[in-house]
């Protein structure tokens, strides 16, 4: 009884990304084609070496851990699975040392292969990757490797060709929403529909990011709305952006500059975020106009934020004057 309550206390303290990490392949909410292929490999006992790649928070680590859980019982997990990630040394020594000795030792009592998971493999040095080529080939009978990375181009072609590649693309909104709703029900969160929309928009297909935003906003503000989500992540609200655009186009330079600077300081906004949002807003209307403004801003980037801000306001006003003189 005591141990149950200790466990549930631990679960309560876990960040939600870990608390709601999928435990089995069936729990994963995306990339069904990849999952069914891997299930088939496992059921036919023909698992190849794997290479998972794609942007963060799309389920690469979760997938291989769920596979490992399916392949091995709890008590044999430690002897059959070697998991290395970016926090471990990524040089050639780790290939010659722990990886080689793990891959080369045979298990006496258990049939089947061992699994080496090299998470964040794009952090491995070229030498280490070259050394791994031979190790992968030599111990294929005994060991399977799973390489995971964000950038495929950082994995040498020789390693890529030894593995079956799977790309984990960003999650779609329709995949993320039911999972978020599940967490919302479990955690009893008060959320509005526009709050949900804001989370999904800001996380751009990264499930980890969406869970982190949900957790931090609900902890900081109680209720999750569009406004609290944007404020919690330090992102400018749509109304702020509309105001900025209005000032830049309708006020004189000094007033526009001062008002934007004041809003920026008050809300702790980054100029980069303001510009991205302004860009998105006007992109829907006038592409050329947006590009011009963006270009002017880019010319000034690299200097301090005040100069960049004045460059941005000047760009808007120059375009405004252009449009006005064209019309008259």
Ligand X SMILES: Nc1ncnc2c1ncn2[C@@H]1O[C@H](COP(=O)(O)OP(=O)(O)OP(=O)(O)O)[C@@H](O)[C@H]1O
Contact track, ligand X, 60-99, x by CB under 6 A: xxx-------------------------------------
Q: Which is nearer to Mg ion, 146 or 309 (CB)?
A: 146
- Minimum separation from the CB atom of position 52 to Mg ion (A): 9
Please choose, out of 57-65, 68-76, 129-137, 241-249, the segment that lies near Mg ion by the rule CB under 5 A: 57-65
Instruction: Decide: 52 and 147 in contact? Cβ < 8 Å.
Output: yes
Tokens 């998991």 belong to 83
Q: Could you say which residues in the range 9-28 bind ligand X, by CB under 6 A?
A: 17-18, 20-22, 28
- Minimum separation from the CB atom of position 165 to ligand X (A): 15
Which residues in the chain belong to E strands, given as ranges?
50-53, 81-84, 114-118, 143-149, 164-167, 190-191, 223-224
207 lies in the site for ligand X, by CB under 6 A = yes
Q: How many residues bind Mg ion (CB under 5 A)?
A: 1
Q: Which two tokens stand for residue 86?
A: 């970016």
- Minimum separation from the CB atom of position 148 to ligand X (A): 6
Q: Which is nearer to ligand X, 151 or 295 (CB)?
A: 151
Chain centroid, CA 288 distance in Å: 31
Cα dihedral angle (68, 72, 76, 77), rounded to 10 degrees? 10
Contact track, ligand X, 120-159, x by CB under 6 A: ------------------------------x---------
Question: What's the start-to-end Cα distance of the chain, in Å?
Answer: 81
Q: Which two tokens stand for residue 218?
A: 């609900």
Among 61, 143, 225, 310, binds Mg ion (CB under 5 A): 61
Chain centroid, CA 241 distance in Å: 25
- Minimum separation from the CB atom of position 275 to Mg ion (A): 30
Instruction: Report CA Rg, the chain.
Output: 26
- Sequence-separated (6 or more) residues with CB below 8 Å from residue 98: 82, 84
Among 34, 50, 57, 240, binds ligand X (CB under 6 A): 57
Burial of 132 per CB tally in 10 Å (0-12, 13-18, 19+): buried
208 binds, among ligand X, Mg ion, none (CB under 5 to 8 A by kind): ligand X
Among 25, 38, 51, 58, binds ligand X (CB under 6 A): 58
Q: What residues line the site for ligand X (CB under 6 A)? A: 17-18, 20-22, 28-30, 56-62, 150, 168, 179, 207-208, 211
């Amino acid at each position: 009884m005591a141990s149950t309550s200790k466990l549930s206390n631990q679960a309560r303290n876990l960040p939600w990304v870990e608390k709601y990490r999928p435990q089995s392949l069936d729990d994963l909410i995306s990339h069904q084609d990849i999952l069914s292929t891997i299930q088939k490999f496992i059921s036919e006992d023909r698992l190849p070496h794997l290479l998972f790649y794609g942007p963060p928070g799309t389920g690469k680590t979760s997938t291989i851990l769920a596979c490992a859980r399916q392949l091995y019982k709890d008590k044999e997990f430690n002897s059959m699975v070697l998991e290395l990630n970016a926090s471990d040394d990524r040089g050639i020594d780790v290939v010659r040392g722990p990886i080689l000795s793990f891959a080369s030792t045979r298990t006496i009592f258990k049939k089947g292969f061992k699994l080496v998971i090299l998470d964040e493999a794009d952090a491995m040095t070229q030498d280490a990757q070259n050394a791994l080529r031979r190790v992968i080939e030599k111990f294929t009978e005994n060991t399977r490797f799973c390489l995971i990375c964000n950038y495929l181009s950082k994995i040498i072609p020789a390693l890529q060709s030894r593995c079956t590649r799977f790309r984990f693309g960003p999650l779609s909104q329709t995949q993320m929403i039911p999972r978020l709703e599940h967490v919302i029900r479990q955690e009893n969160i008060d959320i509005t529909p526009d709050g949900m929309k804001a989370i999904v928009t800001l996380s751009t297909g990264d499930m980890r990011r969406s869970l982190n935003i949900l957790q931090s906003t609900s902890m900081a503000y109680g209720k999750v709305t569009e406004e609290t989500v944007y404020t919690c992540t330090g992102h400018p609200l749509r109304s702020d952006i509309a105001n900025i655009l209005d000032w830049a186009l309708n006020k004189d330079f000094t007033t526009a500059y001062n008002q934007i600077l004041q809003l920026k300081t008050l809300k702790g906004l980054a100029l980069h975020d303001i510009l991205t949002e302004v860009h998105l807003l006007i992109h829907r209307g006038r592409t050329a106009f947006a590009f011009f403004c963006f270009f002017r801003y880019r010319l000034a980037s690299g200097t301090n934020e005040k100069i960049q801000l004045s460059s941005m306001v000047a760009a808007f006003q120059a375009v405004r004057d252009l449009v006005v003189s064209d019309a008259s």
